[in-house]
Amino acid sequence: MNDSKLNETLRITLTVTICMLAGKLMGLNSPVYLALYPVIVMTKGKDYSLKGLVKMFAPVLCAASLALVVCEVFSNHPFIIWTISLLFFDYMRKRANTPPKLGAMLMPTFNWILVVIFSMHTDASMPTRIHEIFISMAITIIVAKTMVSLFPIVRSGKPPVFEPHEVTYQHRFVSTALIGSGVGFLMIVDLISATFCLVPVIAAASQFTREKFLATVKLRFITQVGGCALAAIFTIVLVEHQSVIGFYGLALAMVIYVIAKAMVNEVGIKRDIHGDALLATMLPIQLYITSINDGLERTFLRGWELTVTLFILFALYQLTERVQRK
């Protein structure tokens, strides 16, 4: 491993580990954001300047804040909340006409969904959640900037230029229908644990072609369900030691290092696989590793819910494929 790849591996490992430990030690009501944000920044981010990081997080905070306003104003009218959510999803999809913009669509859309679902099915204070989202973003930016300073990035040429795609009404209808159906279901059924299953739905629904839709579903099955399996193994290994912060931090750093090392040695789709697997592994660890029994049960439930969600997407693809052939 050359110096550039070693620096990147250490940047990812230390940023994600420190942020996740901060989420545990600070006693936040929603520590999951300190797993979600650092992984996204370190695996998807391109500009690690202060301006670049703020630009990356600003739409996310705006989306979450706007969702909070909508939920507070129309708290007694869930259908109106759902309708406004559809308009927001359509707006985000209409603007996403290049691969980088498609990637940037994920976080604001998902944070909107989190606020909507949690405001409907929990007694948690949503203004406090927005406050914790802001704190998590600030911590992520500080830690990421520090790690980039300690382990500098070696620039290799100009970033690729992507030709904009035409976002047709069909693209907008498919993405809005799939994401909107998932949100509508979760608004009706009190199944908060399934909220994170909408991440692969957003990723698949925003693709430009049927082939990429199918490839995204297959990829997410490998990474998302595989990540839950890794999280379950991690939980078992840490049995009776998850509250020992030093042991927990060391074990966490080792898992992140192994995945990050594999990621930096790959390019293209293989790199994306490892990056998505890192996110899929860290989320259940940050969410559920409080007790061995509860953690394993919820992690297995998450894996099952993801499997069902991805199977539904695959079944929809097969069904529409047969209709097209006829």
What confidence tens digit (pLDDT) does each residue in 202-227 have? 999 999 888 999 999 999 988 988 98
Q: Does residue 228 lie in a domain region?
A: yes
Q: Is the dihedral of CA 33, 39, 41, 42 positive or negative?
A: positive
Half-sphere exposure of 210 (CA within 13 A, CB side): 11
Q: Is residue 157 assigned to a domain? A: no
Higher pLDDT, residue 284 or 83: 83
The percent of residues above 70 in pLDDT, for the chain, comes to 94
**What is the amino acid identity at position 92?**
M
Q: Where are the alpha helices (DSSP H) in the chain?
A: 3-25, 33-44, 50-73, 78-95, 99-121, 126-150, 169-188, 198-205, 210-220, 226-237, 245-264, 268-288, 292-325
pLDDT band at 257 (very low <50, low <70, confident <90, very high): very high
Q: 267 falls in which pLDDT band (50, 70, 90)?
A: confident
Whether 162 maps to a domain, the answer reads: no
| Three-class DSSP category at 61 | helix
Rounded (5°) CA angle 111-233-216? 45
Assigned domain for 89 exists: yes
59 exposure class (CB count in 10 Å sphere: 0-12, 13-18, 19+): middle
Give the integer Cα–Cα distance in Å for 144 and 149.
9
67 within 8 A of 86, measured Cβ to Cβ:
no
Q: How far is CA 108 from the centre of its chain?
A: 10
The pLDDT of residue 178 is 94
DSSP assignment string, 258-323? HHHHHHHT--HHHHHHHHHHHHHHHHHHHHHTTSHHHHHHHHHHHHHHHHHHHHHHHHHHHHHHHH
Q: Which domain holds residue 304?
A: 3-152+167-325
Determine the distance from the C-alpha atom of residue 42 to the mean position of all C-alpha atoms in its chain, rounded to a whole number. Answer: 12
- Count of structural domains within the chain: 1
> What does the alpha-carbon distance between residue 155 and residue 104 come to, in Å, rounded to a whole number?
22
**Distance in angstroms (rounded) separating the CA atoms of residues 115 and 188:** 15
Q: pTM to 2 decimals?
A: 0.89
Within-domain flag for 195: yes
Residue 56 inside a domain? The answer is yes
Q: Which residue has the tokens 């359509």?
A: 90
- Flag whether 159 is in a domain: no
158: in domain: no
